Structure 1
Amino acid sequence: MTLTQLEIFSLVAELRGFTLAAHRLGISQSAVSHALKSLEQELGVELLRRHQSSVELSDIGEQLLLRARAMLGLANTLRQEAADARGMKRGTLRIGSFGPTSSIKLLPGILQRYREAHPGIEVHIDEGPDRQVIQWLEERRIDIGFVVLPEERFDTFALIEDQMLALLPINHSLATRSALSLKDLCNDPFVLTEAGSSELVSRLFSAARLQPNIRFRCSQLLSTLDTVSRGDAITVVAESSLPHAQNPQYVKVALSPQVKRQVGLAVLDQRQASPATLAFIELATQMNHS
């Protein structure tokens, strides 16, 4: 069993196909097929069920995929520690990011400084909804992720704190109020943004035993803002996720009582984190606590 075989297996499982995995790795499809067949023969189990246009994991394949990702993660840490001894001249860092707060307001500045300090580290960034980033961390697809805190499952590092705001169309009957309760927001059509703090917003209403009138679900904040601007719905968003430029079509109103939101970084286990990951955490916390 080789790390290359495990890497190929992990990628085929993620992409659900031999052709896509071969293209991503820059090798032939027959090489991918051969590597997986050899791995299955060595282990004595069927890892993948082959269909005409795709593949799916067998039950034992699902189980062994978690082990394979753990082994690949540790191998990456070994490489990073060796690179660290050479001055971190080479290595890879995989980052998970969600919504405008991390992807637009936090990540660009941190990345610029990180690349200046460690130009040999290859950085990969995956964007998805907040719960997707959590899943990627658990599955070891990424080394580090931006998350909404608290997050008990991981080792976390707080970066910024902001507050949640109600967002209303400019001509809404509640738009002139200085503050609104969650109960005030339960009558009108509501739009939920999947990309950022959807879990936090859902928990807020559930904890208050309230149910917003969800009519729209948007994968991106820009779509949410457009829905509110058109007058089709209201929403609750994080202050730092909003664009700097003022939009005359919607109004921001504080929540009462005030609801804070904390965003930070998370790793599966700080003790197993690579030097490249630890360097990113150190730089990010320095920049946002100074």
Structure 2
Amino acid sequence: MTLSQLQIFSLVAELRGFTSAASRLGISQSAVSHALKSLEQELGVELIRRHQSLVELTDIGQQLLLRARAILGLAATMEQEAADARGMKRGTLRIGSFGPTSSMKLLPAILQRYRQAHPGIEVHIDEGPDRQVLQWLEERRIDVGFVVLPQERFDCFALVEDQMVALIPSQHALAAKDSVSLAELCDDPFILTEAGSAELVSRLFLAARLSPNIRYRSSQLLSTLETVARGDALTLVARLSLPEASDPRYLIKALSPPARRQVGLAVLDRRQSSPATLAFIEQARSLYRRD
């Protein structure tokens, strides 16, 4: 069993195809097939079932994929620790990011400092809903991810705290109020944004024993903003996620009582994190450290 075989197995599983994995690795499809067949023969189990152009992991394949990613992660950590001893001149950092808060507000400033300090580190950024980032962390597909805190199953580092705010159409009956309550958001159609705060919003209403009239769900904040601007729904979002220039078609209202959201970084296990990952966390905390 070699690291190359495990890397090919992991990539085929991630991309769900031999051709796409071969293209990503810059090798022939036959080389990918040979590596996987050799790995299966050595382990004595079938890892992947082939269905024409698609592939599907077997049950044992799903189980061993987690092991393979763990081994690859530890190997990468060893390489980066050695690189750290040489001044961290090379390595790879995989970051998971969700929504405008981390992708547009937090990440650019951190990356600017990080690239200046460690220009030899290759940075990969995957973007998706916050739930997806958590799954990527558990599957070891990323080294570090931006998350909404708390997340007890990970090692976490708090960065920033912001307020949850209500968005209402500018011609709505609540437009004249300085702040609104959760109860006042329950009568009209509600749009739930699943890009970064969906679980927090659901918990807020649940704790208040209220049920918003959810008529729309959106995976992107821009779709949510447009829905509110058209007058089709109300919503509750994090203030930090909003664009700098607001649309005059909707209004931002403080929530009464206030509700806060804390955003930070998470790793699966700090003790196994690579020097490149720890250096990224340190850069982030130096910018946004909360005492």
Whether the TM-score (by the shorter chain) exceeds 0.5 is: yes
TM-score by length of 1: 0.99
Counterpart in 1 of 2:102? 102
1:80 counterpart letter in structure 2: Q
Counterpart in 2 of 1:238? 238
- Please state how far the C-alpha of 1:36 moved relative to its aligned partner: 0.2
State the number of aligned residues: 290
Q: C-alpha deviations, 1:136-168, integer Å up to 9, x for none?
A: 000000000000011101111111100000000
Counterpart in 1 of 2:208? 208
2:150 counterpart letter in structure 1: P
Q: How does 1:112-261 map to 2 (within 5 A)?
A: 112-261=112-261
Counterpart in 1 of 2:10? 10
Q: Which moved more, 1:197-206 or 1:263-272?
A: 197-206
The alignment partner of 1:175 has SS state of helix
- Please state how far the C-alpha of 1:25 moved relative to its aligned partner: 0.9
State how far apart, in whole Å, the 2-side matches of 1:198 and 1:12 are: 31
2:89 aligned with 1:84, yes or no? Answer: no
Counterpart in 1 of 2:52? 52
State how far apart, in whole Å, the 1-side matches of 2:195 and 2:28 are: 36
- Please state how far the C-alpha of 1:289 moved relative to its aligned partner: 2.7
Q: Is the 8 A contact 2:186 2:213 kept in 1?
A: yes
State how far apart, in whole Å, the 1-side matches of 2:157 and 2:223 are: 30
1:12 counterpart letter in structure 2: V
2:31 counterpart letter in structure 1: A
- Please state how far the C-alpha of 1:184 moved relative to its aligned partner: 1.0
TM-score by length of 2: 0.98
The alignment partner of 1:226 has SS state of helix
- Please state how far the C-alpha of 1:265 moved relative to its aligned partner: 0.3
State how far apart, in whole Å, the 1-side matches of 2:160 and 2:232 are: 31
Counterpart in 1 of 2:31? 31
State how far apart, in whole Å, the 2-side matches of 1:30 and 1:210 are: 57
- Please state how far the C-alpha of 1:246 moved relative to its aligned partner: 2.6
Q: Which moved more, 1:215-224 or 1:141-150?
A: 215-224
Q: C-alpha deviations, 1:223-259, integer Å up to 9, x for none?
A: 1000000001100000000011132111011111100
Q: Which moved more, 1:118-127 or 1:208-217?
A: 208-217
State how far apart, in whole Å, the 1-side matches of 2:209 and 2:8 are: 47
1:20 counterpart letter in structure 2: S
Q: C-alpha deviations, 1:43-93, integer Å up to 9, x for none?
A: 000000110120100000010001001101101100110000000000000
1:189 counterpart letter in structure 2: P
Q: Which moved more, 1:120-129 or 1:216-225?
A: 216-225
The alignment partner of 1:247 has SS state of coil
The alignment partner of 1:195 has SS state of coil
Q: Is the 8 A contact 2:158 2:289 kept in 1?
A: no
Q: C-alpha deviations, 1:205-230, integer Å up to 9, x for none?
A: 12222211111111110110000000
- Please state how far the C-alpha of 1:102 moved relative to its aligned partner: 0.3
State how far apart, in whole Å, the 1-side matches of 2:105 and 2:272 are: 28
Q: Is the 8 A contact 2:18 2:32 kept in 1?
A: yes
State how far apart, in whole Å, the 2-side matches of 1:198 and 1:21 are: 33
The alignment partner of 2:174 has SS state of coil
2:202 counterpart letter in structure 1: S
Counterpart in 1 of 2:277? 277
2:248 counterpart letter in structure 1: P
State how far apart, in whole Å, the 1-side matches of 2:202 and 2:10 are: 33
State how far apart, in whole Å, the 1-side matches of 2:79 and 2:130 are: 29
Counterpart in 1 of 2:263? 263
State how far apart, in whole Å, the 1-side matches of 2:10 and 2:211 are: 40
2:84 counterpart letter in structure 1: D
State how far apart, in whole Å, the 1-side matches of 2:212 and 2:246 are: 26
State how far apart, in whole Å, the 2-side matches of 1:209 and 1:91 are: 49
State how far apart, in whole Å, the 2-side matches of 1:77 and 1:207 are: 42
Dislocated runs of 4+, deviation >4 Å: none
- Please state how far the C-alpha of 1:3 moved relative to its aligned partner: 0.6
The alignment partner of 2:93 has SS state of strand
- Please state how far the C-alpha of 1:179 moved relative to its aligned partner: 1.6
